[in-house]
């Protein structure tokens, strides 16, 4: 296992379309997080899962956003009816519930809404 | 909620010199403070972290100090090298269970430039 994998790396979509991103965490990590990062800013927390349970959602996660982690392994983040303001880098991270390793981030999916 | 301020936004130092990046936080309940390095086109990489029961932590050329009273923490990089050039982010959280914290609040980043 080489780290957190995110697909696709880049996505260009037209305003109003739906998009879905996938994250494969490090296999033994039971916590999975989604963050959004816009140009020149630090990542902003969106939501997190412990195993398959979604335990927290940020106020940034509007009704157009939905995240799932059905079997406690990979996760998907879907954005419905995309808007230009959704253009950002979407980062996934994973961590162990116990331990001192902290988060491991993936390389992200860069979304451009045109 | 938590607010993290990071300074400076850009820092240029000569190779071999030291670099210091400072962050302040607002939530006195914050107890976990990681630092991340982000290179172009990549996700942030954890380089060092500190918990509130420790005042200082060092890992080779990198050190972090925490002043809970003043609610600020700093990253120190000594003997800087060209590969240290990147954007560095500090973060804070008031929740952790032995390992990674949830809902990290990040600063806006510092672009560190190492001049040869």
Residues of A within 8 A of B103 (CB-CB) are 45, 48, 56, 58
Mean pLDDT of B87-100: 76
Name the one residue in this structure whose structure tokens are 């296992």. Answer: A1
Q: Which residues pair with A33 in a beta bridge?
A: A48, A93
Which residue of chain A comes nearest to B5, CA vs CA? A42
Please answer yes or no on whether B99 and A108 come within 8 Å at the CB atom. Answer: no
Please answer yes or no on whether B89 and A102 come within 8 Å at the CB atom. Answer: no
**Which H or E run includes B62?**
strand B62-67
C-alpha span between B104 and B93 (Å, rounded): 5
Q: Give percent helix, percent strand, percent coil of chain A, each to the nearest 5.
A: 5, 50, 50
Positive or negative CA dihedral for A11, A43, A72, A26? positive
Query: CA of A16 to nearest chain B CA: how many angstroms apart?
Result: 26
Please answer yes or no on whether B91 and A42 come within 8 Å at the CB atom. Answer: yes
Name the one residue in this structure whose structure tokens are 């950002």. Answer: A88
Of B4, B97, B103, the CB nearest to A98: B97
Mean pLDDT of B2-14: 96
pLDDT in tens, B25-64: 999 988 889 999 999 989 999 999 998 888 999 999 999 9
C-alpha span between A56 and A80 (Å, rounded): 20
**Longest Cα separation, chain A:** 42
Per-residue pLDDT of chain A (114 residues; tens, 9 = 90+): 579 999 999 999 999 999 999 999 999 898 999 999 999 999 999 998 999 999 888 888 899 999 999 988 999 999 999 999 999 999 999 988 765 667 899 999 999 999
Do A111 and A91 contact (CB within 8 A), yes or no?
no
């Amino acid at each position: 296992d080489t780290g957190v994998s995110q697909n696709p790396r880049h996505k260009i979509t037209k305003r109003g379309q739906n998009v879905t991103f996938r994250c494969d965490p490090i296999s033994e990590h039971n916590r999975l997080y989604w963050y959004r990062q816009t140009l020149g800013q630090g990542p902003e927390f969106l939501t997190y899962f412990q195993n398959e349970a979604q335990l927290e959602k940020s106020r940034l996660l509007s009704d157009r956003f939905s995240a799932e982690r059905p079997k406690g392994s990979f996760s998907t983040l879907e954005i419905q009816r995309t808007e230009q303001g959704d253009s950002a880098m979407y980062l996934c991270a994973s961590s162990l519930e116990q331990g001192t390793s902290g988060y491991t981030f993936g390389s992200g999916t860069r979304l451009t809404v045109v | 909620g938590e607010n993290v301020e990071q300074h400076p936004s850009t820092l240029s130092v000569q190779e071999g010199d030291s670099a210091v990046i400072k962050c302040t936080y607002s939530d006195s309940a914050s107890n976990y403070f990681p630092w991340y390095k982000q290179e172009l086109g990549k996700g942030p990489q954890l380089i060092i972290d500190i918990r509130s029961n420790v005042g200082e932590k060092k890992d080779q050329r990198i050190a972090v100090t925490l002043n809970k009273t003043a609610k600020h923490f700093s990253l120190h990089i000594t003997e800087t090298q060209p590969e240290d050039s990147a954007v560095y982010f500090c973060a804070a959280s008031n929740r952790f269970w032995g390992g990674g914290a949830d809902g990290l609040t990040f600063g806006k980043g510092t672009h560190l430039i190492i001049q040869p």
